Structures are given as structure tokens and as C-alpha cells.
Amino acid sequence: MLKEINAVQLADGVYWLGILQDKRLEINTYLRIFKGKDKTVNMVIDPGPPVVFDKLRDNLSALRKDPKNVHFIFLNHQDPDVSTNSMYFKKYNPNVKVICSEDTWRLVNFLGLNVTNFIDIDKFKSLRGRLSTGHTIRFIPTPFCHFRGAVMLFDEESRILFTGDLFGGITHSDGLYATSVNWHGIRTFHQLYMPDQEALQNALDQIKNLDPKPEIIAPQHGALIKGDLIDELIEKLYDLPVGWSLLKSLVKNKDFYIEAVNEIIDDIRKRAGDDMIEMALRKIESDGSFPNIFEFKNDKVIDIKLDPGKSMKMLIDALQEDQPKETMEIIRNAVLKAAVEWNLPLFESLINENTTPSELLVIENEDSY
């Protein structure tokens, strides 16, 4: 069910049309009204999926606009959550012009758009388009962020940068604008949907180099970004491993963690006895959340489904739960030993504040402890 959210003016002639959904992934669509001396041009940016079209139409009519009067549609890329409503706008206005890259067009034309509906961004050598109202719009290609032919739209007059999926977040926003709390959802979204860190850095460099600087970043998902948070998030995203390289390192590290976690379990078994470890593992397996994180076979971990480091920490916390002090110490020592042997990041909750790296080395060199 959609929330009853109406259009919000972002700047003179720029409106957020919603559409905030009661789903994990919020959809944003925008309307830009360019007013000239004797002419008005209406452009919808990233028109969204059919499920929001009725609400979109209501919000347009609240602004005394109608899908019939939408002259242009700008598409960042072809994904269904971005582009599908283009075909509905075309039903209302058969002459609507869809502005996108050729790579995007090759896919969106299957929505039933004709070549006469297409304005090819690649034909604008200066990457600037001049509207009959006198306004200039700029096209900023962001290859592989996340689609090969993705292009951002920069409205020079309002200084709003429409970034598509870039800066999008998996989040339920309390407000229209992001706060630092939104970083978690933005990070997850980019880790999942941006395929390559270098491509992401290239896109962020383009934003850093924009002149004038954007005042608002308007993504297609989640909260909008303005003020100091723009630079803060650019910096955070710049260093974020995403996509393939992230997946590759997780897969590589996973085998490593699986071996280490099994070694820890074996160590604890030797010191605390079979019964203790059997009971602890049974408890973990019957816990609703752990079967989703660890796959066990014959009391050995054979797969880890989430971030291996965090999952391992959760497993160790679970093993320690309700254990007597003596067993807790056995678990702690097994973990420290494995941490040194496998060069794993240490788990702070298991290490006393006064434990030093040299103490850990002593543990490594001892056969028993």
C-alpha cells in the first residue's frame, strides 16, 4: 500500500512527486517545470514503475498538471523501477520525448516506444541540452553506475543533480532529506547494486568536479541529500568496496573463515568436552536466525552466508551464552589462538582491555594453554 504523500517543492519549478512506498525500496520520481517567456516545458525524471502511476497522476494533478502535458521524460537507465511508466505517459501523450542514452534506449524501446519518441543523449557532444525555454540541462554519464548507459541529469538553474540509483538507499526515510543515519542503507544499496569500485569512483569524481556544485542530490531511491552530507557521503562511497571485488573478497575470505571457525570449534571441543560443544551447537542450530548464517554438516561449519567476520563474531557470542566462567575462558582462548594463527581481526568483546598483541603471540607459541 502506498503512503499518502503529496508532491513537495524542492526548488523553484522542481518537485518531488513521491513516491514513497511502504516497501524496503522507496521510489522517487521528480517533475521539473521549465518556464520560459511564453512557454512551459514539463519534464518527468525517472517516472517509476506502474504500481505508482495512479499516485503519480494524482500528484501531478495537485500541481495542475496532467500526464498529457508531460513533454519530456528523462531516464537514468532502463530498469523497471525507473523506466516502465514511460509507456503510460506515451499513452497520454503519443509525442512525449524520452531522453536517455542509446544503451538505455536499446532496452526501453521494448516498452512500446517509437524511435520518434527518442532523444539520444549521445548526440549532445557538449553533454548540454538547451530547452526552448532557454534553460540548460546537463547530462553526466556514469558508466556502470550501475548500468553501462546510465546518465545523471544536472539542472543548472536549481542545482539539483538527479543521480538515478547512485546515492540511492535501502531505507525507510523518516524525512525527505537524509541524515547521517541513512548511510547504512546507502552503503548496503551500493554494495549490492554498484558493480565496480572504479566505476563508482569515476562517477563520484564527476560530481566533485561539477561547476556549479550541486545543492541537492536527488536519487531514485531513499532520502534526498543536501548540505555537508553531500561531500561526506561522496567521501564514504569513494572508499567503499562494492560489487564484484567485494563479492570476490568475501568468497575468498569465506573459506579462510570456515577453516578458522572449525578449528575454534575443535579446540573448544578438546578443552571443554564433546557435550558442551554439542549442546551449544544444537542450541545455535535451533535458534531461528543461525541456520540462515551457518550451514552445519556433522557438527562442522560448511558454509557462511553473510559477512564472514561478523558471522563468526555472532557464532562466538552465541557459543559463550550462558556458559560458566571457566568455559567462557576456554572459548576466549580458542578464539585468540585462531585469531593469531589465521591473522583474523580480533574480536574486541573477547579480549580483555589489557591484552596486548605480544600476549597473543605467546599463546600462538604454546601447545597447550
165 is an interface residue for Fe ion by CB under 5 A: yes
46 is an interface residue for Fe ion by CB under 5 A: no
Q: Pick between residue 41 and residue 194 the one whose CB is nearest to Fe ion.
A: 194
Q: Residue with CB nearest Fe ion? A: 79
Q: Pick between residue 45 and residue 340 the one whose CB is nearest to Fe ion.
A: 45
Q: Pick between residue 81 and residue 157 the one whose CB is nearest to Fe ion.
A: 81
Tell the smallest beta-carbon distance from residue 224 to Fe ion (Å). Answer: 15
Residue 17 DSSP code: -
Max intra-chain CA distance, the chain: 87
267 is an interface residue for Fe ion by CB under 5 A: no
The C-alpha cell that represents 233 in the structure block: 557521503
Task: Write each residue from 198 to 227 as x if it is in contact with Fe ion (CB under 5 A), else as -, in one continuous string.
Answer: ----------------------x-------
Q: Which stretch binds Fe ion (CB under 5 A): 52-60, 131-139, 165-173, 200-208?
A: 165-173
Task: Please state the separation of Cα 271 from the chain's center in Å.
Answer: 44
Q: Which stretch binds Fe ion (CB under 5 A): 8-16, 161-169, 255-263, 354-362?
A: 161-169
Residues in the chain: 369
The C-alpha cell that represents 296 in the structure block: 552445519
- What is the sign, positive or negative, of the torsion defined by CA atoms of 340, 344, 347, 353? positive
148 is an interface residue for Fe ion by CB under 5 A: no
Q: Which stretch binds Fe ion (CB under 5 A): 77-85, 91-99, 108-116, 255-263?
A: 77-85
Q: Are 58 and 41 in contact (CB under 8 A)?
A: no
3-state secondary structure (DSSP) of residue 138 = strand
Tell the smallest beta-carbon distance from residue 337 to Fe ion (Å). Answer: 46
> In 3D, which of 274, 165, 267 has the Cα closest to residue 220?
165
Tell the smallest beta-carbon distance from residue 45 to Fe ion (Å). Answer: 13
Residue 345 φ then ψ, to 5°: -60, 140
Tell the smallest beta-carbon distance from residue 23 to Fe ion (Å). Answer: 12
Q: Alpha-carbon distance 341 to 354, whole Å?
A: 20
Tell the smallest beta-carbon distance from residue 191 to Fe ion (Å). Answer: 14
79 is an interface residue for Fe ion by CB under 5 A: yes
103 is an interface residue for Fe ion by CB under 5 A: no
> Which residue intervals of the chain are DSSP H helices?
53-62, 80-83, 86-92, 102-108, 183-193, 197-208, 228-238, 243-272, 274-286, 290-293, 308-320, 325-341, 357-365
The alpha-carbon radius of gyration of the chain (Å, integer) is 27
Tell the smallest beta-carbon distance from residue 195 to Fe ion (Å). Answer: 11
Q: Pick between residue 78 and residue 117 the one whose CB is nearest to Fe ion.
A: 78
Q: Pick between residue 166 and residue 318 the one whose CB is nearest to Fe ion.
A: 166
81 is an interface residue for Fe ion by CB under 5 A: yes
Q: Are 116 and 106 in contact (CB under 8 A)?
A: no
Tell the smallest beta-carbon distance from residue 221 to Fe ion (Å). Answer: 6
E strand or H helix at 303: strand 300-304
Applying CB under 5 A, the residues found at the interface with Fe ion are 79, 81, 165, 220
